[in-house]
Amino acid sequence: MDEIFLQTFWISIKLASLTTIVLFFTGIPIAYFLTYSSLRSKVILQALVSMPLVLPPSVLGFYLLLAFSPNYWPGHFLNHYFGLRLAFSFTGILIGSIIFNLPFMVNSIQTGFSNLPASLKDASYTLGKSRGTTIFRVLLPNIKPALLTGVCLTFAHTIGEFGVILMIGGNIPGKTRVAALAVYDEVQALNFGIANKYAIFLFIFSFVVLLFIYSVNREYLKWKKF
């Protein structure tokens, strides 16, 4: 029993960690583009990034399931050329998680960039610094709270993810069954004690993550604004 419990949490944590790492590195350039680009068409990307906030997870899960299926061209392409079958696999739920959590990472970092005075970037440029140097030496170090919020929210939200993973992961123990699904499963099987064990752990975990974000950001907010 304990082994299954630990294994389920391990899958949850592995999924959340990988989702967060991938989104951290892809979220920064997307957020930078959305903040600083003067292209009008960027609103389309903005809307797409935020879609998972309003779209029912089952809808996203449904389309991903279709996309992963060898009967349709993306799934067929992956299966035929790379031997990848993503439906009901860990990689599949990882891709679903990455798409579903995109707004939590991107919107947090974008808020950080937007709150910085525009003159910081300009000042660095007039000092002869390239865009890359400006991003790494000036912009990112000054939005640490936003980066931290993005990382923590993405991680915590992935831990609590249910709909997308159920749709494309199929709830396979030891493979795609995460803690949030286990609660549902155990309740269905009338194992309220075990369900409670999962639930209380998720409850405390979520609370601790939010507590951490708010207390760290409170310290940063004491910074004088320039």
Residue 80 or 137: the one with the smaller Cβ distance to another protein is 137
Return d(Cα 126, Cα 45) in angstroms, integer: 30
For residue 218, give the DSSP letter. H
In the bound complex, what is the minimum distance in angstroms from residue 35's beta carbon to another protein?
17
Spacing of C-alpha 19 from chain mean position: 5
- Contact residues toward another protein (CB under 8 A) are 117, 119-120, 122-130, 137-138, 141-142, 223-224, 226
In the bound complex, what is the minimum distance in angstroms from residue 141's beta carbon to another protein?
4
C-alpha dihedral, 101 to 107 to 109 to 113, nearest 10°: 170
Phi then psi for residue 41, to 5 deg, are -70, -5
Cβ neighbours for 174, distance < 8 A, ≥ 6 positions apart: 7, 11
In the bound complex, what is the minimum distance in angstroms from residue 37's beta carbon to another protein?
16
In the bound complex, what is the minimum distance in angstroms from residue 122's beta carbon to another protein?
5
What is the length of the chain? 226
Residue 20 or 134: the one with the smaller Cβ distance to another protein is 134
- Amino acid symbol at 137: R
Residue 81 or 223: the one with the smaller Cβ distance to another protein is 223
Return d(Cα 17, Cα 203) in angstroms, integer: 18
In the bound complex, what is the minimum distance in angstroms from residue 216's beta carbon to another protein?
16
Residue 29 or 117: the one with the smaller Cβ distance to another protein is 117
Residue 41 or 126: the one with the smaller Cβ distance to another protein is 126
